[in-house]
Amino acid sequence: MRLKGLKNRARDRRGFSLVELLVVIAIIGILAAIIAPNAFKAIEKGKVAAAEADYKAIKAAALNYYTDTGGWPKEQATPSNDPGFVADPGTTGWNGPYLERWPARNPWGGNYEYHNDAEASGGFDGDDATERYLRITGVPQSAAARIDVDLDGAEDGESGIVRYGAEATVSVDVLISADD
């Protein structure tokens, strides 16, 4: 007798009711609304951290190059060219490689460009001093502001070692060294 009663109960509850399904779907929607923005922020923070790490590695490579050779690498002919950090450019005293490889792309799909404005006027900040800097192209404005705060301590884009414009997507210039 008892077995017959359990069979009938099992037959009566074959699935979930519509209300139960709607409650589960609502809970999943609320969780997704909470988690998704945080996930996108984490991705953007990761890209900023990667760009900052690349800048620091390139800056260290430039300083090591200068220490070994007594001069700074020449300006890149094209953004994908190694300015002398990976392969010997034929400079006396070169003791590299200073980087394992020149980064092909930055986290936003743009380029890293090494600039040495020894032959140009204006350069990094518009004065006539000679500066070496890294240009990071194709950076969203919000990421440029984060890089500025992390490396400069202030978000202005017009002073310190980080410079960028006010457009939605900008090129960020980060100072490596400057002659007085």
CATH 3.30.70 fits 2-178, yes or no: no
pLDDT band at 152 (very low <50, low <70, confident <90, very high): confident
3-state SS, residue 165 = coil
**Can you tell me the distance from the alpha carbon of 58 to that of 133, in angstroms, rounded to the nearest whole number?**
10
Question: Residue 161: is its pLDDT beyond 70?
Answer: yes
Domain ranges of the chain: 2-178
Read off the amino acid at residue 153.
G
At 14-64, the pLDDT tens digits run: 788 889 899 999 999 988 888 877 777 888 899 999 999 999 999 999 999
DSSP string, 93-124: T----SSSS--S--TTS--EEEEEGGGSSBTT
Mean pLDDT of all residues in the chain?
Answer: 85
| Model pTM score | 0.76
**Cα 45 from chain centroid (whole Å):** 8
At residue 46, the pLDDT reads 92
